[in-house]
């Protein structure tokens, strides 16, 4: 698994989705107890020499929805077909993953896909600390995307300042999921207040139904511990 991730992060080339297509790769891990700070420090160290040009890197804690005892996930997002970072040679990458072996008890599943829709949020990282992801299987993906975009536009006021995104699982979707929807927020309570406001409005149910038939196969709550973005 480590070699696969190394290959991805050194040869592949959050994302403000425009005319370009962005992709991502994520891997779930179970860290050894008490080693979260050490991994965060390793991220800081390796990124002292990396310049991100068309990509983002994140380290997240898995809260509700974790499967198989996984505690965290590492995620990379980049504009497909571009050189999205510089400054990381093979030796530095090998040294980083060697450190990870000291802190990781078990390597979990890895999955990849693309971003289909993206509403950017505020510039304050605290506004996006908690991210709620629904793993889904829409019967008609095209219809679902059209309906999703329409719903997000209609409730722009409610979603103001939040990241709202729709994407695919192109490789190894969890529990057979083919797509996902993500909403960011400050806390679990902040998310629940959003859902309460949305569900008080009839339009929310009407527009949700216009997305078509969809099977929800799970949902997960992530907390962002560390993130690095493309440098302007």
Domain residue spans in the chain? 2-114, 116-222
- Phi/psi-derived region of residue 68, left when phi > 0, alpha when psi is between -120 and 50, beta in every other case: left
pLDDT at 222: 96
pLDDT at 232: 53
pLDDT at 229: 79
C-alpha distance across the termini of the chain, in Å: 32
Fold of 116-222: Alpha-Beta Plaits (3.30.70)
pLDDT at 174: 94
Is the fold of 2-114 the same as that of 116-222? Answer: yes
pLDDT at 17: 44
d(CA 54, CA 60) in angstroms, rounded, equals 20
pLDDT at 16: 40
CATH architecture of 2-114: 2-Layer Sandwich (3.30)
Can you list the residues of the chain whose pLDDT is less than 50? 1-18
Residues contacting 96, CB < 8 A, separation 6+? 42, 46
Q: How many Cβ atoms sit within 10 Å of the Cβ of residue 193?
A: 13
- The CA-based angle 105-106-109, given to 5 degrees, is 155
């Amino acid at each position: 698994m480590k070699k696969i991730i190394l290959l991805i992060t050194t040869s592949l080339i959050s994302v403000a989705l425009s005319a370009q297509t962005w992709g991502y790769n994520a891997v779930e891990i179970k860290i050894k107890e008490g080693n979260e700070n050490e991994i965060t420090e390793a991220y800081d160290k390796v990124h002292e020499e990396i310049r991100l040009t068309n990509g983002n890197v994140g380290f997240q804690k898995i809260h509700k929805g974790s499967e198989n005892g996984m505690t965290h996930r590492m995620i990379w997002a980049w504009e497909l077909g571009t050189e999205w970072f510089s400054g990381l040679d093979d030796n530095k990458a090998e040294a980083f993953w060697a450190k990870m072996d000291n802190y990781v008890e078990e390597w979990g599943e890895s999955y990849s896909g693309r971003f289909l829709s993206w509403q950017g949020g505020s510039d304050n990282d605290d506004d996006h600390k908690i991210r709620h992801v629904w793993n889904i299987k829409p019967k008609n993906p095209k219809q679902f995307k059209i309906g999703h975009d329409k719903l997000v536009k209609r409730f722009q006021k409610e979603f103001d300042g939040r990241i709202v995104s729709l994407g695919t699982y192109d490789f190894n979707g969890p529990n057979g999921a083919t797509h996902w929807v993500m909403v960011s927020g400050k806390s679990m309570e902040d998310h629940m207040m959003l859902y309460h406001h949305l569900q008080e409005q009839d339009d929310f149910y009407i527009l949700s139904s216009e997305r078509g038939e969809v099977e929800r196969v799970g949902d997960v709550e992530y907390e962002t511990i560390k993130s690095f973005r493309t440098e302007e």
